[in-house]
């Protein structure tokens, strides 16, 4: 009974984590020009799952927050960035909000 409760709690925790992990953060190379990088935002916003996009040249970061209950596959993200002319080096899913990312970027963190 204790083991079952523990497993259920663990499953609930994993489910909660997955549900709140709606930010995809990508490390991108070649991001040195804001004018050129507008294509990244335009391309990502075409995806109906995209809720917001945050781009930081300083941190070589492109972050996409998705609408609740949705996700964007890694392959689709890599293709979108390639269409914009850039290379994705790493993809990480986090629970950070777009606002939190912007705040950290503007404060010198990230």
Partner 1 sequence: MTSLRHRMSRYAGMRRFGYASRFGYASRFGYASRFGCALTLFAVMTSGAGARPIAFADGVTIMSEYGAETMREYQAFYAPSYRYSFGAGHLSFKSHIPAGAPGHSHGAPSLTDTEMTHGVTYLRFNYLPKRWNLENAQANIFVWASAGQVRDGTDDLEFAGNVGGQFDYETRRVYASLRTDLHESSFFRHRIDTVQLGVAPYKHDYDTMALWFLVQARQYSGELLHHGTELSALVRLFKRKSWIEAGVTQEGRVQAMLMFNF
Interacting residues toward partner 1 by CB under 8 A: 28-30, 32-40, 42-43, 55-58, 60, 82-87, 105
Smaller CB distance to partner 1: residue 34 or 109?
A: 34
Smaller CB distance to partner 1: residue 22 or 54?
A: 54
Smaller CB distance to partner 1: residue 21 or 30?
A: 30
Q: Return the residue matching tokens 């391309």.
A: 43
Q: How far is the CB of 39 from partner 1 (least distance, A)?
A: 3
Does an H or E element contain 91, and which?
strand 87-94
Q: How far is the CB of 49 from partner 1 (least distance, A)?
A: 18
How many residues are given for the chain? 110
Q: What value, to the nearest 5°, has the Cα angle with vertex 35 and ends 24 and 28?
A: 30
Q: How far is the CB of 34 from partner 1 (least distance, A)?
A: 5
| Nearest CA among 103, 53, 102, 59 for reference residue 77 | 53
């Amino acid at each position: 009974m204790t083991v079952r409760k523990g497993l259920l709690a663990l499953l609930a925790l994993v489910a909660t984590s997955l549900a709140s992990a709606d930010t995809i953060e990508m490390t991108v190379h070649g991001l040195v020009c804001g004018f050129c990088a507008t294509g990244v935002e335009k391309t990502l916003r075409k995806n109906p799952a995209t809720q917001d996009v945050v781009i930081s040249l300083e941190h070589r970061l492109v972050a996409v927050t998705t609408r609740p209950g949705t996700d964007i596959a890694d392959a689709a993200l890599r293709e979108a960035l390639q269409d914009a002319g850039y290379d994705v080096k790493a993809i990480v899913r986090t629970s950070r909000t777009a606002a939190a990312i912007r705040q950290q970027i503007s404060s010198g963190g990230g």
